[in-house]
Each structure stands twice: as structure tokens, then as C-alpha cells.
């Protein structure tokens, strides 16, 4: 019988040394921005009842969730998304808190991708949720926080803006079933123009069909708004386009015009998005490093209706990007190795505590002899060795000279 006690599950990996340092550095940079912008940290359980992620609301297919049952037979999943649990939290323990709620998180999500080789099933995300705030001011606040957080890690990215309602407004004019609507959405998201053309060719040629045909190609700069205006078949679609244009102008005025793109084909699977949606991409990184948008109907699912907007940063993707750019922090090494002579082991531990309490760094030798300890320090690149006996003598291994000593 084959055993799997020396490998990790598909879609997961161990992190070692420098990888951990880069992860921690990115987390610190992101959370420093979140806190500076007035957001407060929350942590939700790694396991939730599956009801929290109702596929009709979350857009997360049940087959990609990791499932189990508790001792009472209730269906539980490993957290596949952070926004839904935070919506649950806001509607329960934070129900009576002053609004808007400004929350941030750094936690892992888990999704099963059996047919997608190379995709991670475990992803570290860091993000914010602004709950109880609607309108342009809140949208600008969320988008600016997103840009500032990414800038704290890398300047090399572009931000794409879209509107979740624009696709729906056009799709409402098509004589299609719900399944066909989802298929069209999926083809637009994947930019599969050939398959989209084939599907639309089977429908009666109407202005809505032609608008849907052009939708995935409405990508670029500010000129996209003029190209999209004739496709608006309703006042609702025109109003959405006008609002998105106003956001674009405001963000450009904030100095972000050089990294802004308009993509009216942004049609993420998460069905809870209702308004502006945005994503960030970096050069040589295929997947988005940030996803976000407005979801004004989601909190109503938890019996506490309120407007909301948020975003999440794919920390793993940012770490990979920085590593490819040559960012490689060195693992710290102790300044001194402390060796306790036989009978003076406790004194050595007390000496080591004194070093660290004064802000220094040290490692206590676990070897039995002074010679073994010095040889180990040389191999590890530890510059100094402290020999603790009746007295303490500290030596520099660079030139084998005594650099200090104290009476023990």
C-alpha cells in the first residue's frame, strides 16, 4: 500500500527560510498600510459551515470546496473565501458596532483545483472590507487603499477597472437561459473569442447580441468609454458606464492614470459583485495579484443589508513576483554562539538571556565540547563564541582574538 508521509498534498508546498522571510515582509508591508488607513484586523476560522458559502450567493462551486463533517453530521468546509465569513462576522458579533466597519485580514483560503495543474489549493490572502459605506467616496477609498498597499511591495503593476452590472445589463437583453448566461460570462472572462462568437452566432442578431460580442474587446484607456457608449441598450447600462468614467477621472486626478486600464470584460465568477470591480496585474505574472469590488447585496444574505466594498491581495503571487525580481532577504545569523563548560550550563543559559534582553542575538551551543562548538560556529558563519565557565570569555573567530569577558 502506497503511503504519502513524505510529500505534501497537491496544490500545497512547504516554505523554507528565505521564502518565509519574504512572506513575512510582504505581510508586514500590506498590514501596515491597512492599519494606517484605519482598518482593524479580524481573523475568521479556517473551517466554516458550508451554508456560509451558498453557491447561489458566493459563486463558489461546491466541487472546489474541501469538505468534511463535524461530530453532529453537519457539513463543514475549509475556508474557500474570506469575504463571506467576514460578512457573517459583521452580521453577528459586529452587528451593533459603529458603521462603517473597516476590517482587514491576513489568512489562507483553500480551493480544490483537480483539473488545473500548477494551481495552488492553499493561498495566503491579505485584504480589507469596508462595510456600511456606499457611493463614490467609499469606492475611491477602497481602490486607493488597494493601490497604496501594492505600491508598498512593488511599483510594477497595472490596475484594471470594470463594472459587474454592465455585463448583467447587456445580458438581460438576450433571449438566453441561466446556463447560457453563465457560459457566456465564462467565455468572456477567459477571453475565448472563438467560442463566444460561435455561441452568439446561434442567437438572433440584435443590438444586445452585438454588444455582448464586443464586450470582451472593450479594453484599454479612457477611449473605451466612448466605444462602449453606443452599446448601452438601457438607461441603467448608460448610468453604470457614466459612473465608472467618473471614477476613472478621479483616480487619474490622483496621479494613477499611468497605471489605469478599463476592462468592461471584467466578469468575475463571484456573483455577489454588484458595482465597480477591479483587479491588478504585474508583468510576467499571469494571475491577478489583487481582486476586489463592490458587493451591496451580500450582507442582506446574512440579514444585515448594507453596502460594502473590499479587495484581497494574493500574497503568494506578490512573493513570487518579488523573488523573480531578485528580492532575497538574508536569513539572520546569531552574533554569538554561547557555550557552557561542563557544570556551567545554567550560567550559559543565563548569559544568553542577558544577550537577547539587551537586543542582541545568540545561539546556545548544544555540543559537549568547546572544540565542537567553535567548529560549528565557523560552519554556520557565527562571528563570535562566548565560553562560559568560572568566567566568560568571548572570542572573534575572524582573527581568533579575545574581544571581551565578564566574571560569571
The model's pTM: 0.90
DSSP 52-119: GG-HHHH---GGGS-EEE-TT--EEEE-S-SHHHHHHHHHTTTTTSPSSEEEEEEEEEE---TT-TT-
The domain 336-407: what is its CATH number? 3.40.50.800
pLDDT in tens, 259-299: 999 999 888 765 789 999 999 999 878 789 999 999 999 99
Q: What is the pLDDT of residues 217-272, one digit of tens each?
A: 899 999 999 999 998 888 999 999 999 999 999 999 999 989 999 999 888 765 78
Give, in degrees to the nearest 5, the angle at Cα 22 between 319 and 35: 85
Nearest CA to 266 out of 172, 160, 144 is that of: 160
Question: If residue 400 lies in a helix (H) or strand (E), which one and from where to where?
Answer: none
DSSP, res 364: E
Q: What is the DSSP letter of 331?
A: P
Cβ partners under 8 Å of residue 274, min gap 6: 164, 165, 294, 295, 296, 297
pLDDT tens readout for residues 344-386: 999 999 999 999 999 999 999 999 999 999 999 999 999 999 9
Average pLDDT for 171-197:
84
Domain boundaries, the chain: 18-324, 336-407
| pLDDT above 70: percentage of residues in the chain | 97
| pLDDT attached to residue 328 | 78
Say if residue 408's pLDDT is above 50: no
DSSP, res 8: P
Q: What separation in angstroms does the CA of 407 have from each of 42, 69, 244, 364? A: 49, 62, 73, 18
First to last CA, the chain: 58
Topology of domain 18-324 in CATH is BirA Bifunctional Protein; domain 2 (3.30.930)
Amino acid at each position: 500500500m502506497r503511503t504519502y508521509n513524505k510529500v505534501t498534498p497537491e496544490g500545497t508546498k512547504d516554505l523554507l527560510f528565505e521564502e518565509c522571510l519574504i512572506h513575512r515582509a510582504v505581510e508586514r508591508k500590506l498590514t501596515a498600510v491597512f492599519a494606517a488607513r484605519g482598518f482593524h484586523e479580524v481573523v475568521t476560522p479556517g473551517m466554516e459551515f458550508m451554508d456560509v458559502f451558498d453557491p447561489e450567493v458566493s459563486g463558489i462551486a461546491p466541487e472546489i470546496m474541501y469538505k468534511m463533517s463535524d461530530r453532529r453530521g453537519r457539513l463543514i468546509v475549509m475556508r474557500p473565501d474570506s469575504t463571506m465569513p467576514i460578512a457573517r462576522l459583521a452580521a453577528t458579533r459586529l452587528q451593533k458596532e459603529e458603521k462603517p466597519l473597516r476590517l482587514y485580514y491576513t489568512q489562507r483560503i483553500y480551493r480544490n483545483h483537480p483539473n488545473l495543474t500548477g494551481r495552488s489549493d492553499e493561498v495566503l490572502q491579505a485584504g480589507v472590507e469596508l462595510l456600511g459605506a456606499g457611493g463614490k467616496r467609499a469606492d475611491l477609498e477602497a481602490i486607493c487603499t488597494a493601490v497604496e498597499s501594492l505600491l508598498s511591495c512593488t511599483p510594477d503593476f497595472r490596475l484594471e477597472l470594470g463594472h459587474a452590472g454592465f455585463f448583467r445589463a447587456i445580458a438581460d437583453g438576450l433571449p438566453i437561459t441561466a446556463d447560457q448566461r453563465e457560459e457566456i460570462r465564462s467565455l468572456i472572462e477567459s477571453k475565448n473569442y472563438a467560442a463566444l462568437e460561435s455561441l452568439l452566432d446561434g442567437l438572433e442578431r440584435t443590438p444586445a447580441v452585438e454588444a455582448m460580442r464586443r464586450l470582451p474587446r472593450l479594453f484599454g484607456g479612457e477611449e473605451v468609454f466612448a466605444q462602449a457608449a453606443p452599446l448601452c441598450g438601457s438607461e441603467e447600462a448608460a448610468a453604470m458606464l457614466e459612473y465608472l468614467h467618473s471614477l476613472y477621472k478621479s483616480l487619474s486626478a490622483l496621479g494613477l492614470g499611468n497605471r489605469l486600464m478599463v476592462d468592461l470584460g471584467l466578469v468575475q465568477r463571484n456573483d455577489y459583485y454588484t458595482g465597480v470591480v477591479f483587479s491588478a496585474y504585474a508583468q510576467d505574472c499571469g494571475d491577478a495579484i489583487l481582486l476586489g469590488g463592490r458587493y451591496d447585496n451580500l450582507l442582506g444574505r446574512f440579514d444585515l443589508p448594507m453596502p460594502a466594498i473590499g479587495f484581497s491581495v494574493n500574497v503568494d503571487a506578490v512573493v513570487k513576483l518579488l523573488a523573480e525580481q531578485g528580492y532575497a532577504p538574508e536569513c539572520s545569523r546569531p552574533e554569538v554562539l554561547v557555550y557552557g563548560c561542563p557544570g556551567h550550563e545554567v550560567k550559559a543559559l543565563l548569559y544568553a538571556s542577558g544577550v537577547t534582553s539587551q537586543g542582541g542575538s545568540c545561539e546556545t551551543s548544544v555540543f559537549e565540547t568547546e572544540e565542537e562548538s567553535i567548529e560549528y560556529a565557523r560552519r554556520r558563519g557565527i562571528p563570535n563564541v562566548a565560553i562560559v565557565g568560572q568566567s566568560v570569555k568571548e572570542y572573534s573567530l575572524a582573527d581568533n582574538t579575545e574581544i571581551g569577558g565578564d566574571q560569571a
